[in-house]
Amino acid sequence: MASDQPAERESAPDPHALEFEHVSMFFDDSPALQDITFKLQRGQMVFITGAAGSGKSVLLHLAIGLMHPSRGRILVNGRDISGLDETELLAIRSRDMGLVFQEDALFTGMSTYDNAAYRLVEHELPEAEVDRAVREILTFVGLENDLEKLPEELSIGMRRRLELARALAGCPSIMLFDEPTSGLDPINSRQVLDLIIRARDINGGSSLFVTKELHQIPYAAYRRAERKGSGEVTISKVEGKDRPNTGVIVLHEGRIAFTGSVEDFESSQKPEVAELTHPKSTVREEDIEIRDPWSKERHWKL
Ligand SMILES: Nc1ncnc2c1ncn2[C@@H]1O[C@H](COP(=O)(O)OP(=O)(O)OP(=O)(O)O)[C@@H](O)[C@H]1O
Ligand SMILES: [Mg+2]
């Protein structure tokens, strides 16, 4: 064999789904990400948070090969993706990775069915396999009766569930969620979050979950979805080692300001973390004081 790597190295299962090694990304000369190093273990969900412009979306776009890093290496399932051409990247994206974009990214003029099928068709999977995967995922997100509808005929919550379906069709082993509930009301938001927890725990897989809604982090980290004997799936709070394998990364101005467990994130006093978890109010109390209308001191003039 011409390779200078030992054969065992190639066949040994890599414990990591995704790995960033000293990754930097510059746009012109301005840095969006600098020296990012982390590993996403198989089966792990890592939450990524940070202020607007801190580099969260760029990180996800790099992970899926939609952007190429200025420096450093990105490995997907142990394989460096920087040397891959567009066809090989497409194969990885349709087979191994699904991304729920931050912005509305459905194809208008394309049915629910075709939107959900898009990633798989792009990879030229056999039609019967695509059909099975698409029907399964649309049932999973509760859109099995809306196959022919166009995105513009769906409600905002349904559209977001369709985005989820497109990313999760075929159960990719790596799922990337970029603020998947942004712009949704609390009911739709909770529905989408619960679907993500179900996908994580029932289908398995590893995920990066970008959110600025910090309450979603303990919600997803301390709950687990389980299929009961009856086939029904329930999500309940779990403790200790029953909790899913999770972690948190905080980005601050393109750099990792914190990395650790959800518990450590919640109690961290690091300024970059505390400013997210315990933001200082900029409103002075006297500005929001509302006089008590029933006060006895009040003299009503009739
Ligand atoms: N295609 C691009 N061309 C030039 N600059 C870009 C591009 N994409 C992102 N940037 C810059 O990179 C930085 C990080 O952007 P990114 O979209 O990752 O932020 P974010 O953390 O996702 O923010 P938000 O919370 O608002 O979604 C920003 O300064 C942004 O202007
Ligand atoms: Mg973003």
Retrieve residue 287's tokens. Answer: 């500005």
**301, amino acid identity:** K
Phi, psi of 139 (to 5 degrees): -70, -40
Residue 118's CB: how many other CB atoms inside 10 A?
A: 18
Determine the residue of 27, 99, 102, 209 to mutate for testing ligand 1's pocket, defined as the one with the most ligand atoms within 8 A of the Cβ atom. Answer: 27
| 31-76 per-position pLDDT tens digit | 999 999 999 999 999 999 999 999 999 999 999 999 999 999 999 9
Sign of CA dihedral 230, 231, 236, 238: positive
CA dist 130 and 297 (Å) reads 73
Looking at the CA of residue 50, tell me the nearest atom of ligand 1.
21
| 106-160 per-position pLDDT tens digit | 999 999 999 999 988 877 778 999 999 999 999 999 999 999 999 999 999 999 9
Looking at the CA of residue 55, tell me the nearest atom of ligand 1.
18
Q: What integer is the mean pLDDT of 167-196? A: 93
- Please state the length of the chain: 302
The order of strands in the sheet holding 45-50 is 97-100, 174-178, 206-210, 45-50, 246-252, 255-260
Q: What integer is the mean pLDDT of 5-32? A: 79
- Mention the CATH class of domain 14-84+174-278: alpha beta
Q: Residue 92: pLDDT above 90?
A: no
CB 63 within 8 A of CB 206: no
Find the DSSP H helices in 36-124.
56-63, 86-95, 112-122
Q: In the chain, pLDDT over 70 holds for what percent of residues?
A: 88
Query: Residue 62 CA: which ligand is closest?
Result: 1
Where do the structural domains in the chain lie, given as residue ranges?
A: 14-84+174-278, 106-171
